[in-house]
Amino acid sequence: MTAVTAPAPPPHAASPLRWVLSDSWTVARRDLIHWTRNPTVIVAGLAFPIMFVLLYGYVFGSAMIVPGGGGYREFLMPGMFAQTMMFGAAATISAVAADKARGVTDRFRSMPMAQPAVVMGRSAADMVNSVLDLAVLVACGLLVGWSSNTGPLPTLTAFGLLLLLRFAMIWVGIYLGLVVSQEAAASTWALLFPLTMISNTFVDPSLMPAWLGTVAEWNPLSATVAATRELFGNSVPELVGTSWPAQNALLLAVVWPVLIVAIFLPLAVRRYHSAAR
């Protein structure tokens, strides 16, 4: 008489959370391996913010005077940190759109894996990449004369706000990458430029025309830049405006990214699931 062996339970039966985390790490590791096998992409991604630092810090910065004194490069670097975090959305859009065009996303849907793991894995991999981008840019900033003039806790808080902005932009990138074609994804840089330029990254909004300065002050990027300048001790008192966004930059630097995540994370997950139907 042959004994009947009960079929093994599915991997998620005992611990759904562990299943999701395990599959998310597998997807994240896959994305990181693909990233390291493309050294050209790595070099280009790291060279872009460095080029911006040199271009704006030395070429344009040679004609910039910061009211109240202080070096322009010290004023500039917190803005460059935040701008790089926002520009990272373009890389996320391109990677997600490329996976969709090559059929990788459809292949993931057909596999017995936790479906949230695909978007969670992508966000985890992009966060790892962002930490490296930020570390390289900080090293570049130190070389050109920037430094944090406060203690370890405010400095770490500033870096946390920068990564929080990047985390929010990752979910914007995942959603748009699932929506647009691979060809259209290449043009997303053009959409990000107005968002990064109409801000307090390079000049204070008070020096802009009134209507443009108002738009710049309410830009989510401006909140992160102003908050990190204050936390790094790079802010210029003469340039701190009297408007509500300027006076509450630290609050907005948290509220804006949380609001963006609350909107785009569900949209990205819903888009991923609806595309499978």
User: Which tens digits make up the pLDDT trace of 240-263?
Assistant: 667 888 889 999 999 999 999 999
Q: What is the DSSP string of 119-147?
A: HHHHHHHHHHHHHHHHHHHHHHHHHTT--
pLDDT in tens, 141-158: 998 889 998 889 999 999
pLDDT above 90 (res 12): no
Taking alpha carbons only, the member of 90, 57, 48, 80 closest to residue 221 is 80
Between 253 and 74, whose confidence is greater?
253
Separation of alpha carbons 236 and 86, rounded Å: 23
31-45, 215-229, 239-253: which is most confident: 215-229
Q: Distances in Å between the alpha carbon of 134 and those of 16, 49, 129, 181, 234?
A: 34, 9, 9, 28, 17
pLDDT value of position 172: 94
What are the φ/ψ torsions at residue 220 (nearest 5 degrees)? -55, -35
Tokens standing for 184? 């259209």
Angle (nearest 5°) at CA 235 between 146 and 218: 120
Coil, strand or helix at 252: helix
The CA–CA distances, whole Å, from 185 to 168, 176, 191, 235, 252 equal 18, 8, 10, 35, 29
| Cα–Cα dist 72/50, whole Å | 16
pLDDT bracket for residue 70 (50, 70, 90): low
| pLDDT, average across residues 24-34 | 84
pLDDT score at 223: 94
| Nearest partner of 227 among 150, 140, 174, 170, judged by Cα | 150
User: CA 169, CA 261: separation in Å to the nearest integer?
Assistant: 8
Which tokens hold the place of 106?
Answer: 């459809």
| Helix, strand, or coil (residue 37) | coil
Q: Which residue has the higher pLDDT, 63 or 260?
A: 260
